[in-house]
Structure formats: C-alpha cells, structure tokens
Chain A
Amino acid sequence: MDKTINITLKVWRQRGPKERGAFESYKLDGISVDTSFLEMLDIQNEILINQGQEPIVFDHDCREGICGMCSLYINGHPHGPDEDITTCQLHMRKFKDGETITIEPWRSAGFPVIRDLMVDRTAFDKIIQAGGYTSINAGGAQDANAIPISKEAADEAMDSASCIGCGACVAACKNGSAMLFLSAKVSQLALLPQGRVEAAKRAKSMVAKMDELGFGNCTNTGACEVECPKNISISNIARLNREFITAKFKD
C-alpha cells in the first residue's frame, strides 16, 4: 500500500481580473505521496465539480517540465519547495502529513491575474516579438563544423536556451524584473554567429519593450537564479547588460 498524507490546501480564488480575490481552504485526505502536485489539484477539482462548485483554475500543459505553462507560488517558492523543477514535476512526497499548503498565483504588476491561479503572461510574448529571433533565413541544417563555434559558446548558448519562459524569475523577484528571462533569450542568440548579426538591435529593442511593459529594474538579488526551474545563471544578465551598454555607446 502506498503511503498517503492528509493535507489542507489554502488556495487563492479570484473570479476575474477586476474582482477581489481571497484564500479558501480545502481539506484533502488520503493523497498518495506518489501523486504529482497537479494531479493532486485535479483530485481536488474533481471533488469540487462533484459538489457543484467551480473548479480551481490553474495553467498547465505538457506536465513534463518543458512547456513552461505551469506556474503556482507554493509555500513561498515559485514552482514549490523542490529545486530545479517546474510545478508539474513536483510530487506530494515533498510535503508532510497534516501540512497546510499555500498556493498563490505569480504576483507582479507585469503578470495580472486572469482567474484564480492563472496569470496573463503575454508580456513575455511581446518581449520575444520585439526581437527574440533571427530575421535571416538560415537555410537548411549546416554540415557539422561548417561554422566554427567554440565548445564553451555552444554550451552557454544551450544552457541559456533551456529557459522555458515560465515567469518564475519575475514571480520570485522583489522588483518584478524580467531580466533573467530577457537575458537568457538575448544570450542564446548573441553567443552564436547566426544570432550575432542582429545582437545589438535585439538587446536594445527587447530591453525597451521590457521597460515599456512595466517590469522592474534588476538589483542583483539573485532570487530569480535560485528559483529558476532550468537553472539559468545570472551571468546571462551581465551579458545582457554588456550587450545593451556597448550597443548604446556605439550609437
């Protein structure tokens, strides 16, 4: 028989963007510790639906930690208490029997709540639209080693590219800054020759868009790096600063 735990959920419920929200508590008994966190919420929603109540609204999609859709601020941490995972990869074995679990939406002026635990993260899409791409036609896949790229640059670019744009960095930041996200998106292209061509323009327009959307100024607390499910390093932020400042001085 699996080990099971009894828990109390304290969930933020908010009917719409303009409505006032409040916490509601739900008792949930006999949850297997092998249940994933989102499965646990599914079980809770099943109960609510059977009682004729509105289910808890939360974002989710692939449930294997790659799409960046799931969010949730759980017990003081974006994506919960476990390290380097998204909420969908979190399991109930990380919680104790009888524990009260507080579940909140991302809180930042840049991410307004749509309903319950779901927030509007289109601001990130707008930042990507401002320059997070290469506009040249790169053609088919190159032969290996046709374009020389150092192992270090390739590794760093790959690490930066692992950002899934979930917004945990903004949720963790006391300044509501999107710099970790932005720096990962600028770095993954700036480190490679194909992206280098438009690097200066990209840094300038993406930062301008970020500022315009009302995200905060980075004060280097490093909370983003600690909470990032993909371990994106704040050294990317230094690279973004470098790209941006040199681009501005060249103008």
Chain B
Amino acid sequence: MSWLLNSSIGRKFIMALSGCALILFLLFHMSMNLVLIFSVEAYDMICDFLGTNWYAIVASMGLAALFIVHILYAVVLTLQNRKARGSDVYASSNLSPVEWSSKNMLVLGLVIVAFLVLHLYDFWYKMQFSELFHLEGAEPHGSVIAIDLFSNPVHVLLYLIGITALWFHLAHGFWSMFQSVGINNRIWLPRFKVIGYAVATIICVGFAIVPIFFLAKHFLCSSCI
C-alpha cells in the first residue's frame, strides 16, 4: 500500500477520500445545526448525545484524524508542486482561464482552518473538552452558547467569512474528488461540476441560516428569546 504515499495519484486518492468523508461530516453537521431553528430542546438533546460518551469521543478523534490527514497532505502536495513548477515565474503571467477556486485551494483551506480554530474554541472547547476535563465554565447546553454567540454581529460576520471560503473550497473540491479517484468521464464531468455547486450551496446556505436567523431574532424581536 506504499503507493498511497509514494505516487502522485495515490496522494491525490487520499485527498479525495478524506475530502469525501469531510463533506459527509459537513452535511451531518449542517442538518444538526438547522434543528436549533425549530427546537432548542431538540438541539440540546443532540448536543447531549454527542457530548462525553465514548462513542462521541472516538468519533471526534476520528474526525480530527481526517482533518489532519487532509491538511497534512494538502501541505505536502503544495510543497511538491511548487518544487515541480520551479522558481521561474512567467513575466507575462499565467492567463489561462481556469476556476479561481481551483488555483487557491490551499489559501481557502487556510481560511477554513483559521475559522475552525475559532469555531472549536467557541463550541467544542466549552462543551466536550471542558466537560471531559472538568474545567470551570463548561456549558452543557449548546443552544445557550450558540444563541449568545450569534447575537454579536462581528462574530456572525466571522462565521459568514468562514462559510464563504468553505463554499469556494467545496465548489472545486466536490467534482475534483471524483476526478482524482477516476470516477469521471466526458459526460459526467460537467454533471459533477453542477452537483458540486449544488452540494456546496446546500451546505453553506444551511450553515449560514443559523447565525443569520439568531442575529435577526436578537435585533428584531429580543423579547421572543
């Protein structure tokens, strides 16, 4: 199985598989978030279920491993590609018309990582981590954190920036993963691109609705909370 590490196609295969698993995670995470709009109690039940039991902890660690593999391979691939490209740049610049996101996957990824750090501090640290290590300030109710956080316009803006970067990352990443594992041809290439835009839009709109909803609720009808 050394080809997964030693060959260019093997490395891209790993990127595609880890990316696919992360997209599935995002779909789940997005659906879970939407519950908060409809029922605070149901949302807290889900948070409780995903809190400090062994299944949730093992799943969290698996998820973290996925992120680490995806990020590490991204860095390795980018470094190798910079070397393969060489240090000589074109004076007339590269004017080949290609998708903007396809050329900036690492930069978009770094924005997402920055967002991820903020997001983990906001939620995961206060919920699972603090509860696990019995730290002070542990907040068992996810809804309390979320509603409090999204009443702050600056925080909502930061979240929306992260979600926008995610949209561009997914817009290229979705069809690219099918291409990298070889499930693609002339007919399916444009189809996967369209499906990719749809999936990216569904995920990102689903994520964006929650902070926007609670910000609007905070300003328009503070008595309802």
Contact = CB atoms under 8 A, between A and B. Distances in A.
A15 to B, nearest CB: 16
Interface residues of A, number: 51
Contacts of B80: 216-217
A174 B105 CA distance: 12
A96 to B, nearest CB: 15
Interface in A116-136: none
Contacts of B9: 207, 240-241, 244-245
Interface string B96-134: 111100110100000000000000000000000000000
A152 B13 CA distance: 28
B81 interface: yes
Interface stretch (A62-70, A85-93, A105-113): A105-113
Nearest to A21: B88
B6 interface: yes
A161 interface: no
Interface of A: 10, 12, 23, 73-77, 102, 104, 107-110, 172-177, 179, 207-208, 210-211, 214-223, 226-227, 233-235, 237-246, 248
A85 B189 CA distance: 24
B201 interface: no
B161 to A, nearest CB: 24
Given A220-B102, A245-B9, A174 B81 contact: yes
Q: What's the dominant secondary structure at chain A's contact region?
A: mixed
A102 to B, nearest CB: 4
Contacts, number: 148
In the A-B complex, the 8 residue pairs with the closest CB atoms: A242-B182, A76-B95, A216-B84, A238-B184, A175-B81, A176-B84, A241-B182, A109-B86
A220 B172 contact: yes
B17 to A, nearest CB: 11
Interface residues of B, number: 44
Given A104-B90, A211-B6, A217-B8, A177 B184 contact: no
A170 to B, nearest CB: 9
Interface string B120-151: 00000000000000000000000000000000
B12 A241 contact: yes
Q: What's the dominant secondary structure at chain B's contact region?
A: helix
Contact of B92 (A102, A174, A215): A102
24 contacts: A77-B95, A108-B84, A108-B85, A109-B84, A109-B86, A172-B94, A174-B85, A176-B84, A215-B84, A216-B80, A217-B81, A218-B180, A219-B105, A221-B99, A234-B179, A235-B185, A235-B186, A235-B189, A238-B179, A238-B185, A243-B182, A244-B7, A245-B182, A248-B10
Interface string B172-211: 1001101111111110010000000000000000000000
Contacts of A73: 90, 92
A175 B85 CA distance: 5
A102 B96 contact: no
A226 B182 contact: no
A23 B81 contact: no
Given A109-B86, A238-B178, A248-B3, 18 more contacts: A76-B93, A76-B94, A173-B85, A175-B85, A177-B84, A208-B7, A219-B81, A219-B176, A220-B102, A223-B96, A226-B96, A233-B186, A238-B182, A240-B182, A241-B12, A244-B182, A248-B7, A248-B10
